[in-house]
Amino acid sequence: MIATNKQFAPSPASEPKVHVLRLEVIGGAMDAQEMSLQLPVRIGRGAGANLQLSHPLVADEHCDILVRGEEILVRDLGSENGTFVNRDRIDLAQLAPGQLLTIGDVTFRAVVD
């Protein structure tokens, strides 16, 4: 059998999946009521944070929201006042749709797109 170029043509490159997390503000002082974040994202008070929360309980680099496989994870970055998922202080935890994320005085509800 003679091979043709079609048989050996590379398959189209699959686009990397873009993970977007929507956070609805359900408590605390924040101007926006909902935001969409392309993951990974760093949250904190400092200039290096992708999402800045200016509150004294928020560290300059407070936490990361990242993707591992199909999971969305929240990782505290050693903040003094902690990061909370469903009112539990975490070091690393999965964030599923509908769960609550509290950073400083702001509480968000996770909505995964």
pLDDT tens digit sequence for 21-70: 999 999 987 877 899 999 999 999 999 999 999 999 999 999 999 999 98
- Share above pLDDT 90 across residues of the chain, in percent, rounded to a whole number: 71
Reading the block at residue 93, the tokens are 């935890």
pLDDT score of 4 more than 50: no
List of residues 6+ apart from 81 with CB closer than 8 A: 57, 58, 59, 104
Residue 65 near residue 49, CB atoms below 8 Å: no
DSSP three-state, residue 6: helix
Q: Write the pLDDT tens digit of every residue in 74-99.
A: 999 999 999 999 999 999 999 999 99
pTM of the complete model beyond 0.85? no
CATH 3.90.1170.50 fits 19-112, yes or no: no
